[in-house]
Structure 1
Amino acid sequence: MFNTLFTSIFHSTTVNKESVAQEKPMMLSLKDILSASQHDNTLRLEIITVDAPHSMHITLSPPPLPDQPLVMVPLSIDIPADCPTKPIVRLNTPSTPYAQKWNPRLFDQDQMSAELQQTHSIPQWIHWLYNKMTTADSYPMKRSHDFNEDSYPSKAIKMEIDE
């Protein structure tokens, strides 16, 4: 299953030959980067296979929404040894309570797993997920912060300097 998913990324119909052949400048100014990001409607993917053939890690960065300029969705695909034809998709949870919380209607792990098990193709699965994202109001849910001292995962330490 790992090989099937991995090779689906590089299948000849999924690679945009125009973007590969297009020469890009070696250096960009900050002004160029910021102006390009305002008009960017590109879906960006990063796929890491550190634990092959047991898992793949995908970071999905969709085009920015007006009120959400940068969103990075961390996903993992686990391929169980006992049933490798049934990959399981997990949405990595935020590491702190103040990070983004993902919209559960949009990023339902059971639905994402079922779709990947049906297609066995990363590009088709990403296309399905991106279509869901384009019709959603927002990717992450808005979080309210409780700024009392107990809500912080780590306590502040007061340091005194000897003079």
Structure 2
Amino acid sequence: MTSRLALPGSVLILSAALPILGHANTDYFKCQTEAGTVFSQFPCNENATEQKVTHSNPRHQGPKEDYGKQLTELEKENKRNSINMQIRSTKHKVVMLKRERSAKTLAEEQRLERLMSDDERKALKKEVQVNIKDIERRYSQRIKETEQKLARLEKFLARFQ
């Protein structure tokens, strides 16, 4: 009586599974743990007792399929999808960084085209060239790091193909 009160969810799950599992002989394990009674398709500890759920027609056998391969393949597919999303995001980031770099470079170059005297233009031209080099250096480093991350993601994805 106390084990039922301690684990009403487990008993409820097991009793709900009985009609589904009732079409064939099914083995499961019952274990006593610190958390209470646990039911599992694998032994939980050395004190696990094997239990059997049987159908009213014992000659009827259920399918003997191992779904481990299918579950592993689903897990790999989910991992591939996750990596593909990261790759798309990283590629988008590279495009945005290049676009931002181009816009800032153009803005610096356009400063030269404004109306000004020749002396001002010469002084500004040097300043603009320094600024463009700085922009190129900063964005080139960020783009390089992002492309390296992209290469690592694609290499990681290749392991799941």
TM-score range relative to shorter protein: under 0.3
**Greater per-residue helix proportion:** 2
TM score, norm. by length of structure 1:
0.19
**Structure with greater Cα Rg:** 2
**Greater per-residue strand proportion:** 1
